[in-house]
């Protein structure tokens, strides 16, 4: 029986304006290593067969020499330039995959993805064709009106914070992205939403971790440093 090939796309093309730094957040140092190192290291050690790193066009050489080669990330087969928005960058990553049965898409600014999380995602996508990592919210959520009145309070047990990795049958997500790119729908904010919009398909939720945070602000870096201290 032919082994199913699993690819991963790691996104590191954002500018990170909310970090208030001249250095893009994916290259800021966390415990002496660039932030993107941690996601790449996790996928290097995982069952994934190949990794596509999507970054800014001007950062390709730096990523290859200073991160991929320096740390012997052998599973990184390609480093490609991203696009204007996140969904453009994902699409560039999908096109760079030579062939795959399944693909995991992960934000490089989430350094605390674990092997268990990756393996749970892989197991689930093989059964469901589409799944996303997330966690139930801890706080009560209010849906606001345009003039900032609380209009609806959804049941907290029904509301999840969505994380990455998000995993899909490769052909399915590529087709969905092609439809979104063609339509010019710029309102999509994650890969599951692309599938929901383009294919009208429900996506399975997989438990992640409350530590699987996305580094977006300077405060997030402080939290990440605390998490690393706990691990070591």
Q: Which of 24-28, 45-49, 94-98, 116-120 is predicted least confidently?
A: 24-28
Burial of 165 (0-12, 13-18, 19+ CB in 10 A): buried
Contact yes or no for 97/52 (Cβ under 8 A) = yes
- Is residue 1 included in any domain, yes or no? no
Chain segment 110-130, per-residue pLDDT in tens = 999 999 999 999 999 999 999
What is the per-residue pLDDT for 230?
81
What is the per-residue pLDDT for 25?
77
pLDDT of 33 over the 60 cut: yes
- Is residue 122 included in any domain, yes or no? yes
Distance separating alpha carbons of residues 44 and 39, to the nearest angstrom: 9
134 Cβ partners below 8 Å, 6+ apart? Answer: 160, 161, 162, 163, 205, 206, 207, 208
The pTM of this model reads 0.94
Q: How confident is the model at residue 24 (pLDDT cuts 50, 70, 90)?
A: confident
What is the per-residue pLDDT for 18?
55
Chain segment 184-219, per-residue pLDDT in tens = 888 999 999 999 999 999 999 999 999 999 999 989
- Domain count across the chain: 1
What is the per-residue pLDDT for 44?
98
- Is residue 125 included in any domain, yes or no? yes
What is the per-residue pLDDT for 20?
55
- Is residue 184 included in any domain, yes or no? yes
Q: Which domain holds residue 208?
A: 6-231
Number of alpha helices (DSSP H) and beta strands (DSSP E) in the chain? 7, 11
β-bridge mates for residue 144, sequence order = 150
What percent of the chain shows pLDDT beyond 90? Answer: 85
CATH of the domain at 62: 3.90.550.10
Rounded average pLDDT over 68-92: 95
What is the per-residue pLDDT for 158?
94
What is the per-residue pLDDT for 199?
95
What is the per-residue pLDDT for 186?
86
């Amino acid at each position: 029986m032919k082994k199913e090939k699993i690819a991963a796309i790691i996104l590191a093309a954002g500018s990170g304006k909310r970090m208030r730094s001249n250095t893009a957040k994916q290259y800021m140092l966390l415990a002496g290593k660039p932030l993107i190192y941690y996601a790449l290291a996790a996928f290097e050690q995982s069952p994934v067969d190949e990794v596509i790193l999507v970054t800014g066009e001007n950062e390709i050489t730096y990523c290859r020499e200073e991160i991929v080669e320096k740390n012997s990330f052998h599973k990184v087969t390609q480093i490609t330039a991203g696009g204007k928005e996140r969904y453009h960058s994902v699409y560039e990553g999908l096109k760079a995959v030579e062939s795959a049965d399944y693909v995991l898409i992960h934000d490089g600014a989430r350094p605390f993805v674990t092997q268990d999380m990756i393996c749970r995602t892989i197991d689930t996508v093989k059964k469901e064709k589409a799944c996303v990592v997330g966690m139930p919210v801890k706080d009560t959520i209010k849906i606001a009106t345009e003039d900032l009145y609380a209009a609806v309070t959804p049941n907290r047990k029904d509301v999840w914070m969505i994380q990455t990795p998000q995993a899909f049958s490769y052909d399915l997500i590529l087709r969905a992205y092609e439809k979104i790119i063609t339509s010019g729908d710029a309102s999509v904010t994650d890969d599951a939403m692309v599938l929901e919009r383009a294919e009208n398909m429900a996506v399975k939720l997989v438990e992640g971790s409350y530590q699987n945070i996305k580094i977006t602000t300077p405060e997030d870096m402080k939290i990440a440093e605390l998490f690393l201290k706990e691990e070591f």
